[in-house]
Amino acid sequence: MHTILIRNALIVSQDASRRVFRGNIFIEGDHIKDVSAPGKEDGADEILDASNLIAMPGLINTHCHVAMTHLRGFIDDIPLSGFLEKTFRLDAERTDEGMYNSSLLGTKEMINSGITSFLDLYYGEDIVAQAAKKSGIRAFLAWNTLDQDKTTQKGNPVKNAEHFIQEFSKEKMITPAIGVQGVYVAGDETYLAADDVSRRYSTLIHGHLSETREEVYNFVKGHGGKRPIEHLSEIGFLSQRFIAAHCVWATLNEVRMMAMKGSRVSWNPVSNAKLGVGGTAPVPEFVSNGILVSLGSDSTASNNSQDIWSAMKFGSISVKNERWNPAVTNAQMMLDMGTINAAHSLNRSDIGSIENGKLADIVMLDMSTPELIPTTPENAISNIVYSAGTSSVSDVIIGGKFVKRNHRLLDFEPEMFRDANFY
């Protein structure tokens, strides 16, 4: 089995006691065999001198639409309603080749920025899966569903999702799941059918929820005063399998309903603010009620970067500012959202931290880049959250394989995308 020794790194472990220490990481095959104090040297097939590197668990992006990466910069500066109208129209005309190329580009961008796992929501996830496998990233892919009369998918969306789950259930790097686009295009029947599939196959269920005030008000008007989360709770949809993206417009009552059912929130602070959804998700209330919160980039059309650095930094800052309180979030809390809490949200105990026996999804940050000087064990977590960026990422290992090495993304040539068909 292939072995890698990461020698003398500053390890930000994200283990149960959140230890930060100097040590070696020994990788065997796809998992971490041993995390030990420096000095204990075993031979390995590859040895990486990490004395100037931070080793941290790979970042986990819990909401995106990676097949839309090619829309970067083309739908900026308009409200969400117009944005959705335009993206729905463009989505309807996609080819398999276009979706593949766009997904390959998006997964490469994520790897470059230190993301080792992502949760995607789209139709055509079988195509996204091929691109993810080519990139070497760990992918959680939720086939999107909506009401039959509102979809451009061929056939029945719930059946399509079920078929996708059956087809990809045995894959190592791909975890199939089901999605629901949102209450504005999916009625109770679709929500309950999707939930039924998710229960029968023990998959995650992922969807947009209470993203804009307009969406919530329209729902309330059509449902006798009931709010979306309140309604989904009443029909029995909320569960531990559900990861809801956004939840910007959740009331305290709705937060408690989600907490009671163990549903999770994927917070997308950059996308939300860029789309001007107003207000900020009630993250302190999510956290104090025990809801698992993780971070998402959302699509490149609304962010416009596939990275978690900006989500950690801007998310934290936006809540501090809104609550007039710099202590309402802290760096450790944000790093937890980007790593271990995201892993738990995905119902996975084998990723999200650097510990013996876990999968080797590891990101190295170069402490000699200007933005990380000075870094010590005392300020490492602050520097990761408030100073690091894609330019700090020197190496990325996913499942025991290097996918970025010495600041260079492997198996990537910009020429690959120069004349590529993205539509």
- With CA atoms as reference, report the closest residue to 50 among 14, 19, 22, 31: 22
Question: What angle do helix axes 157-167 and 188-200 make, rounded to 10 degrees?
Answer: 10
Binding track, positions 134-173, relative to Zn ion; x by CB under 5 A: ----------------------------------------
Binding to Zn ion (CB under 5 A) within 68-107 occurs at none
Judged by CB under 5 A, the stretch of 199-207, 291-299, 331-339, 390-398 that binds Zn ion is 291-299
Residue 298 or 366: which CB sits closer to Zn ion? Answer: 298
Judged by CB under 5 A, the stretch of 17-25, 130-138, 293-301, 308-316 that binds Zn ion is 293-301
Closest separation in Å from C-beta 393 to Zn ion: 24
Judged by CB under 5 A, the stretch of 90-98, 111-119, 166-174, 296-304 that binds Zn ion is 296-304
With CB atoms as reference, the residue minimizing the distance to Zn ion is 298
Strands annotated E in 203-350? 205-209, 242-246, 264-267, 293-295
- With CA atoms as reference, report the closest residue to 59 among 378, 334, 410, 380: 334
Judged by CB under 5 A, the stretch of 30-38, 292-300, 341-349, 414-422 that binds Zn ion is 292-300
Judged by CB under 5 A, the stretch of 22-30, 76-84, 196-204, 290-298 that binds Zn ion is 290-298
Residue 303 or 341: which CB sits closer to Zn ion? Answer: 303
Residue 104 or 209: which CB sits closer to Zn ion? Answer: 209
**Interatomic CA distance for residues 102 and 115, integer angstroms:** 17
Closest separation in Å from C-beta 245 to Zn ion: 5
Closest separation in Å from C-beta 20 to Zn ion: 33
**Number of chain positions touching Zn ion (CB under 5 A):** 1
The three-state DSSP-derived secondary structure of 204-231 is CEEEEECCCHHHHHHHHHHCCCCCHHHH
| Residue 245 contacts residue 211 (beta carbons within 8 Å) | yes
End-to-end CA distance of the chain: 41
| Pairing between β-strand 31-36 and β-strand 46-49 as defined by DSSP bridges | unpaired
**Interatomic CA distance for residues 217 and 215, integer angstroms:** 6
Judged by CB under 5 A, the stretch of 11-19, 295-303, 325-333, 336-344 that binds Zn ion is 295-303
**Interatomic CA distance for residues 286 and 275, integer angstroms:** 22
Residue 125 or 298: which CB sits closer to Zn ion? Answer: 298
Distance of CA 40 to the CA centre of its chain: 35
Residue 41 or 85: which CB sits closer to Zn ion? Answer: 85
Residue 25 or 139: which CB sits closer to Zn ion? Answer: 139
**Interatomic CA distance for residues 146 and 164, integer angstroms:** 16
224, exposed or middle or buried, with CB in 10 Å at 0-12, 13-18, 19+? exposed
215 binds Zn ion (CB under 5 A): no
Residue 7 or 206: which CB sits closer to Zn ion? Answer: 206
The binder of Zn ion chosen from 30, 109, 254, 298 (CB under 5 A)? 298
Closest separation in Å from C-beta 144 to Zn ion: 10
Closest separation in Å from C-beta 208 to Zn ion: 5
| Residue 65 contacts residue 122 (beta carbons within 8 Å) | yes
How many C-alpha atoms does 18 have within 13 Å on its Cβ side? 13
Residue 211 or 336: which CB sits closer to Zn ion? Answer: 211
- Which residues, 6 or more positions from 151, have their beta carbon under 8 angstroms from its beta carbon? 145, 157, 185
Closest separation in Å from C-beta 163 to Zn ion: 23
**Which chain residues interact with Zn ion by CB under 5 A?**
298
